[in-house]
Structure 1
């Protein structure tokens, strides 16, 4: 692993993280401030008038307390999609982007091995992944305590964010694998983004009605069971551990593939 490259990549991509963190702060702060049991009744009435749309975004139930409200209105879609897009951009730029632009040749000319460079880039992506999830947890906690002191169940909320981290480790691992396998940025971005968007769309369709309920078995997003995590279900915890395992496997597989293949440099 190259600490010099690690620090350089953190500085180079820090602005991208700040932009997406800012968008998360905007939507997160707005959603938290909307919490109100009376407003929940209004949202429930709206969900009844447009059930399929609300179901697709997992917003049919506003919940009875603050942590359930945040789970349904932030962790059901927004905090899944926003970091996912950022991680796709980062992953593609860290490996395939450097190969495509030719700057990877300079890195390979250094004393560091291919596998060392790949692990460095993987660590950069993992740091940004962790930073997004810590930001989501800290942001909602601070705003919630400021507006609704003592109403956020921190233990259940922390477990929810641990599951969110597992989901984004999976997304990051998939994007990193594609970035290591394909030489061209457009192909790596197309395959990784296409698969991630497909998973999200399948999840949305599976929530629309009973006829499409079976689709939940063909998307990894089902393993991020927000309701189960808030209930403390051991099965839900085991399922998000699978996401960690799949994500880690794809990181290692991507690094191995990068170390063995021919590069057009």
Structure 2
């Protein structure tokens, strides 16, 4: 089964990235109790940061002295940025590597349709991203035990992780479409990663500048804004709809295009 083949081919990458993100989460959460004891000093440190930077990273609404505030400021950046990089690398390579590794001819010679090939590759991307986010959630819940004396609003936490999952799937969908459409396979990874970094830059700009706040509708990073979700215990329905449309649109477009694409073998 092609899905099993693709999953096994990407399993090593999934394990490595999962170990990295779990290690970062547990390391950061392990030092939270000692930092919470110095809340006054931490608040003074945050107040010394320029106001624009405070808004960009949610420091104006979250406190480093609370568990979810610390999570939203320190750890959320890692899970969103690193997770998006992983999703983009995974999705951009899963189609292109057939041509890079000269295996496209073998794959297309199998008694399965192109639509089956692209559908099962898409399912492999979805499975990997879901498992990666499962590791994020489990690692976070384990790490929260370092500060078991603090109350944890689970609703806000799971809404935040839902937003992060949808953001990862958004970048995966965009990279998957790039991979299906592109003729020059060597440029796919760089374009996909470039998209992640540009979107992150736009989210920072949208947070710093009131005049450019409209950029938040362009970047998925602002859709998964930790300050908004954690303080309001609400994942904005508009953002969920936009990401859902982009995810579905990208995967369906890749499915349609690949089934008609002239593939050089």
TM-score, L = length of structure 2: 0.88
2:67 is matched with which residue?
66
Change (3 A) 1:229 1:58: closer
3, 8, 21: which one aligns with 1:6: 3
Q: How does 1:147-162 map to 2 (within 5 A)?
A: 147-148=147-148, 151-162=151-162
Which deviates more from structure 2 when the two are superposed, residues 224-233 or residues 130-139?
Answer: 224-233
Change (3 A) 1:19 1:223: same
How far residue 190 of structure 1 moved from its aligned partner, in angstroms, is 2.4
How far residue 16 of structure 1 moved from its aligned partner, in angstroms, is 0.9
CA distance in 1, matches of 2:186, 2:56: 29
Which deviates more from structure 2 when the two are superposed, residues 191-200 or residues 168-177?
Answer: 191-200
Change (3 A) 1:152 1:232: closer
Change (3 A) 1:101 1:59: farther
Q: How does 1:1-265 map to 2 (within 5 A)?
A: 4-36=1-33, 37-51=36-50, 56-59=56-59, 61-63=62-64, 65-75=66-76, 77-148=77-148, 151-230=151-230, 231-233=232-234, 236-265=236-265
CA contact 1:100–1:184 (8 Å) conserved in 2: no
CA distance in 2, matches of 1:212, 1:43: 29
How far residue 114 of structure 1 moved from its aligned partner, in angstroms, is 0.5
CA distance in 2, matches of 1:39, 1:214: 36
SS at match of 1:88: helix
CA distance in 2, matches of 1:254, 1:57: 34
* Deviation string, structure 1 residues 21-54 (Cα, Å, up to 9, x no partner): 1111121012212324333433332233333556
CA contact 1:203–1:221 (8 Å) conserved in 2: yes
CA distance in 2, matches of 1:41, 1:180: 52
* Deviation string, structure 1 residues 161-188 (Cα, Å, up to 9, x no partner): 1111111110100010001001333221
Larger RCO, structure (CA 8 Å, separation 6 or more): 2
Change (3 A) 1:44 1:214: farther
CA contact 1:97–1:184 (8 Å) conserved in 2: no
CA contact 2:170–2:243 (8 Å) conserved in 1: yes
Unmatched 5+ stretches in structure 2: none
Across the two proteins, how many residue pairs are aligned to each other? 260
CA contact 1:167–1:244 (8 Å) conserved in 2: no
CA RMSD of aligned residues (A): 2.2
Change (3 A) 1:181 1:40: farther
* Deviation string, structure 1 residues 203-239 (Cα, Å, up to 9, x no partner): 12222343543432332322223333332336x1442
Change (3 A) 1:40 1:186: farther
